[in-house]
């Protein structure tokens, strides 16, 4: 074992099971069994032979070791599987793989794996959505400073931040539901896609196979199903990864000691933050998500390159997608799993958020003061320029913005001392933030009901 997925460092048991080698073989055997059954249904082969093939199309009989042993000789993975199944099927083995080409089996088996993988990812995203709803509701009124360009901007709420993430997650759920209609397709069309080897019941055979396996038929295909659908899926996985990256990056930033507003949980009794610095409490799970997001985004280029093929078939897709499809699914599922863990145990320092609002001595409320001035009759441009200069004075002289405002004759001409106090209160300048959070929670819950 070499790669960290193989060594057990990354990935959940459920998703790794979908893509492990034995399950892959089983899914291909499932397709072979469905093909034999369909041939029997249309009268191409005796039903007893189809039953024998179906019984033996299991890794209980067709061993991975035997397939590899044959492959050493024939240098073809699918042909090796076909021969191993035929061996176990006795005289019925004559009907194994009848009329099919390798990628009738491979592409359809891939659709079965992706169906299982999508179900796991969707369920994981649904769990993440539940947590984001709960956090948005819990923290909808908890005030913190909003930052743009890394600088203090205006007050917002922590619940508003969670709502932004919640809606990005909801869009990702919808995108994956939408792509499944195009992605989960198989084919039974033979070499170059003409179905010549399937005989006069070709259309019916393909329909029967896909109905039995629970995936749709590709509308039309060459010797492989067109890879634009797989490329779309990998692009969507990279979107999910980037959404998680965005969340993790924000938590990492807010865990900085100079900010100190959000924190990953830390097992104080045993967890080690650094091999040499005993004081360290690193946001290492968030960092892991951010690192893996780079890998997932890196899968997009080979996925797009796989859309291109020579004529009706070449092998350039095969080697690449043996990496990108399992890796994409395993890593994204694992990243969602990690984010669920992070958010469930997230530590929030409300007092630090309040203290951080005071860092600029009230200058972050300059827009609020400007709106008061405009309402009292001052020209908007004049108000902006006046306040720009006063914020500079406050910073340069290290004096509170309230003090600067209270001693300025231009401000005094429009605002009373009480007006200035009200204009400088962060809780009075949240706009519709809390209402927006409530509306987004309601919308998300409605979508969850519609999804069942």
Indicate if 28 and 176 belong to the same structural domain. no
Domain count for the chain, please give it: 3
Query: Is the dihedral angle over the CA atoms 277, 281, 282, 288 positive or is it negative?
Result: positive
Position 314 confidence tier, pLDDT thresholds 50, 70, 90 = very high
61 burial level (CB within 10 Å; 0-12, 13-18, 19+): middle
Indicate if 233 and 137 belong to the same structural domain. yes
Indicate if 222 and 335 belong to the same structural domain. yes
pLDDT at 268 over 60: no
Query: What CATH number should be reported for the domain holding residue 390?
Result: 1.10.40.30
Asked if residue 92 is part of any domain, the answer here is yes
Quick one: which of 21, 35, 157, 163 has its CA closest to 104?
Answer: 35
Last residue of a domain, one of 341, 359, 377: 359
CA–CA separation, 54 and 33 (whole Å): 5
Model pLDDT, residue 281? 81
Indicate if 263 and 126 belong to the same structural domain. yes
**3-class secondary-structure state, position 146:** strand
From 91, 149, 279, 311, the catalytic residue: 149
Kindly state the helix (H) or strand (E) to which residue 394 belongs, with its residue range: helix 380-397
Model pLDDT, residue 273? 63
Asked if residue 448 is part of any domain, the answer here is no
Cα 198 from chain centroid? 39
Model pLDDT, residue 269? 64
Indicate if 350 and 371 belong to the same structural domain. no
Query: What CATH number should be reported for the domain holding residue 91?
Result: 1.10.275.10
Model pLDDT, residue 446? 98
Indicate if 339 and 395 belong to the same structural domain. no
Instruction: Determine the average pLDDT of the residues in 395-411.
Output: 96
- The domain containing residue 343 runs over which residues? 108-189+218-359
CA–CA separation, 93 and 184 (whole Å): 29
> Token digits for 273?
């933050």
Instruction: Determine the average pLDDT of the residues in 154-160.
Output: 98
Model pLDDT, residue 270? 66
The beta strand positions in 119-180, using DSSP E, are 143-148, 151-157
Model pLDDT, residue 271? 61
Q: Look at the chain and count its residues.
A: 452
pLDDT at 452 over 90: no
Indicate if 114 and 34 belong to the same structural domain. no
Position 155 confidence tier, pLDDT thresholds 50, 70, 90 = very high
Indicate if 233 and 178 belong to the same structural domain. yes
Indicate if 74 and 179 belong to the same structural domain. no
pLDDT digits (tens, 9 = 90+) for 202-250: 999 999 999 999 999 999 999 999 999 999 999 999 999 999 999 999 9
From 274, 319, 417, 446, the catalytic residue: 274
Asked if residue 213 is part of any domain, the answer here is no
Instruction: Determine the average pLDDT of the residues in 283-304.
Output: 97
Mean pLDDT of the chain: 96
Indicate if 274 and 136 belong to the same structural domain. yes
Asked if residue 195 is part of any domain, the answer here is no
Contact 309, 224 (CB under 8 A): yes
pLDDT at 64 over 80: yes
The beta strand positions in 19-161, using DSSP E, are 143-148, 151-157
Question: What is this structure's pTM?
Answer: 0.95
CA–CA separation, 30 and 59 (whole Å): 10
Asked if residue 435 is part of any domain, the answer here is no
Model pLDDT, residue 1? 83
Catalytic residue check, 89? no
Query: What CATH number should be reported for the domain holding residue 248?
Result: 1.20.200.10
Last residue of a domain, one of 359, 377, 406: 359
Quick one: which of 374, 395, 415 has its CA closest to 405?
Answer: 415
Model pLDDT, residue 282? 83
Indicate if 239 and 177 belong to the same structural domain. yes
Position 276 confidence tier, pLDDT thresholds 50, 70, 90 = low
Quick one: which of 227, 163, 222, 154 has its CA closest to 430?
Answer: 154
Supply the DSSP symbol for 352: H
pLDDT digits (tens, 9 = 90+) for 93-133: 999 999 999 999 999 999 999 999 999 999 999 999 999 99
Asked if residue 436 is part of any domain, the answer here is no
Instruction: Determine the average pLDDT of the residues in 350-367.
Output: 97
Model pLDDT, residue 275? 52
Percent of the chain scored above 70 by pLDDT?
Answer: 97
Asked if residue 227 is part of any domain, the answer here is yes
Catalytic residue check, 274? yes
Indicate if 94 and 169 belong to the same structural domain. no
pLDDT at 278 over 70: no
Last residue of a domain, one of 37, 67, 98: 98
């Amino acid at each position: 074992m070499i790669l960290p997925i193989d060594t057990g460092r990354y990935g959940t048991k459920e998703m790794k099971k979908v893509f492990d080698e034995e399950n892959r073989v089983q899914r291909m055997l499932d397709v072979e069994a469905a093909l034999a059954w369909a041939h029997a249904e249309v009268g191409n082969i005796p039903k007893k032979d189809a039953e024998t093939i179906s019984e033996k199309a299991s890794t209980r009989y067709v061993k991975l070791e035997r397939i590899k042993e044959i492959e050493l000789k024939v240098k073809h993975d699918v042909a090796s599987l076909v021969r191993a199944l035929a061996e176990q099927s006795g005289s019925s083995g004559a009907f194994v793989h009848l009329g099919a080409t390798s990628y009738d089996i491979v592409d359809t088996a891939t659709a079965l794996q992706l169906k299982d993988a999508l179900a796991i990812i969707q369920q994981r995203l649904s769990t993440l959505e539940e947590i984001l709803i709960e956090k948005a509701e819990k923290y909808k009124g908890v005030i913190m400073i909003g930052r743009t360009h890394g600088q203090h901007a205006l007050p917002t709420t922590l619940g508003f931040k969670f709502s932004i993430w919640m809606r990005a997650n909801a869009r990702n759920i919808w995108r994956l539901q939408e792509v499944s209609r195009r992605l989960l397709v198989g084919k039974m069309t033979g070499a170059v896609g003409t179905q010549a080897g399937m005989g006069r019941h070709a259309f019916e055979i393909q329909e029967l196979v896909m109905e039995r396996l629970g995936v749709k038929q590709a509308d039309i295909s060459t010797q492989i199903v067109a890879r634009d659908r797989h490329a779309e899926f990998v692009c969507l996985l990279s979107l999910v990864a980037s959404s998680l990256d965005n969340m993790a990056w924000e938590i990492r930033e807010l865990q900085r000691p100079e900010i100190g507003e959000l924190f990953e949980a830390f097992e104080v009794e045993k967890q080690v933050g650094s091999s040499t610095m005993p004081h360290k409490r690193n946001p290492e799970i968030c960092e892991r998500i951010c690192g893996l997001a780079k890998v997932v985004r890196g899968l997009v280029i080979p996925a797009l390159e796989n859309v291109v093929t020579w004529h009706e078939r070449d092998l350039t897709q095969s080697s690449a997608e043996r990496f990108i499809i399992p890796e994409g699914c395993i890593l994204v599922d694992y990243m969602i799993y990690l984010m669920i863990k992070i958010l469930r145990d997230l530590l929030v320092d409300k007092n630090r958020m309040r203290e951080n609002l005071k860092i600029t001595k009230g200058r972050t409320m300059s827009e609020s003061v400007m709106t008061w001035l405009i309402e009292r009759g001052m020209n908007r441009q004049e108000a902006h320029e006046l306040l720009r200069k006063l914020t500079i004075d406050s910073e340069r002289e290290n004096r509170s913005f309230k003090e600067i405002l209270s001693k300025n004759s231009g401000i005094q001409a429009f605002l009373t001392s009480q007006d200035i106090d009200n204009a400088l209160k962060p809780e009075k300048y949240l706009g519709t933030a809390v209402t927006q959070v409530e509306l987004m929670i309601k919308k998300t819950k409605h979508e969850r009901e519609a999804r069942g």
